[in-house]
A and B are shown apart, each in its own frame.
Chain A
Amino acid sequence: MSEWIEACSADEIDEEDVIRFDHGNRTFAVYRSPDNEYFATDGLCTHERVHLADGLVMDDIIECPKHNGRFNYKTGAARGAPACVNLSTYPVRVEAGKVYLQIG
Chain B
Amino acid sequence: MTAVDAGMVIVGAGECGARAALALREGGYQGRVTLVGGEPHPPYERPPLSKDAMTGDDQPSPRVIASFEQLADLRIAFLAGSPVTAIDREARSVVLADGRSLSYERLLLATGSSPRRLAIAPASPRIAYLRTFDDALALREQMTPGRRVTIVGGGFIGLELAASARRRGAEVTLIEAQERILKRGVPEAVTEIVHKLHAGNGVEVVLGIAIVSVEADNARVRIALADGRAIEADSTVIGIGAIPETGLAAAAGLAVDNGVAVDARLRSSDPDILAAGDCCSFPLAVYGGRRVRLEAWRNAQEQGLLAARNMLGAGENYASVPWFWSDQYEMSLHIAGLADEGVTTVRRDLGNGAFVLFHLADDGRLVAASGIGPGNSVAREVRLAEMLIARRAMPDRARLALSDYRLKSLLAA
Interface set of A (CB-CB < 8 Å, partner B) = 16, 48, 50-51, 54-56, 63, 65-68, 81-82
Contact = CB atoms under 8 A, between A and B. Distances in A.
B379 interface: yes
Interface in B45-99: 45, 63, 65
B130 to A, nearest CB: 19
Contacts of A67: 297-298
B301 A81 contact: yes
A66 B408 contact: no
B384 interface: yes
A63 B386 CA distance: 14
Contacts of B408: 16
Given A66-B325, A82-B65, A55 B380 contact: yes
Nearest to A53: B376
B383 interface: yes
Given A54-B375, A81-B19, A65 B301 contact: no
B328 interface: no
B65 A56 contact: no
Contacts of A51: 375-376
Contacts of B375: 51, 54
Nearest to B323: A68
> For this complex, into which size category does the number of interface residues on chain B fall?
10 to 19
Given A16-B408, A81-B19, A66 B379 contact: yes
A55 B379 contact: yes
A56 B377 contact: no
Ordered nearest first, which 10 A-B pairs have the shortest CB separation? Answer: A65-B379, A54-B376, A65-B376, A56-B380, A56-B383, A54-B379, A54-B380, A66-B325, A81-B19, A68-B298
A63 B325 CA distance: 15
B305 interface: yes
Contacts of A63: 383
Interface of B: 19, 22, 45, 63, 65, 297-298, 301, 305, 325, 375-377, 379-380, 383-384, 408
A82 B301 contact: yes
B376 A56 contact: no
A48 B376 CA distance: 13
Nearest to B379: A65
Nearest to B305: A81
Given A50-B376, A82-B301, 10 more contacts: A54-B375, A54-B379, A56-B383, A66-B379, A67-B298, A68-B383, A81-B19, A81-B301, A81-B305, A82-B45
A63 B377 CA distance: 14
Contacts of A66: 325, 376, 379
Nearest to A52: B376
Chain A CB within 10 Å — which of B19, B45, B375, B408 has the most? B408
Contacts of B63: 48
B383 A65 contact: yes
A54 B305 contact: no
A67 B325 CA distance: 9
Nearest to A16: B408
A16 B305 CA distance: 28
24 contacts: A16-B408, A48-B63, A50-B376, A51-B376, A54-B375, A54-B377, A54-B380, A55-B380, A55-B383, A56-B379, A56-B380, A56-B383, A56-B384, A63-B383, A65-B376, A65-B383, A66-B325, A66-B376, A67-B297, A67-B298, A68-B298, A68-B383, A81-B22, A82-B65
Contacts of A56: 379-380, 383-384
Contacts of A82: 45, 65, 301
Contacts of B379: 54-56, 65-66
A63 B382 CA distance: 13
Contacts of B377: 54
A57 B380 CA distance: 9
B382 to A, nearest CB: 9
Contacts of A16: 408
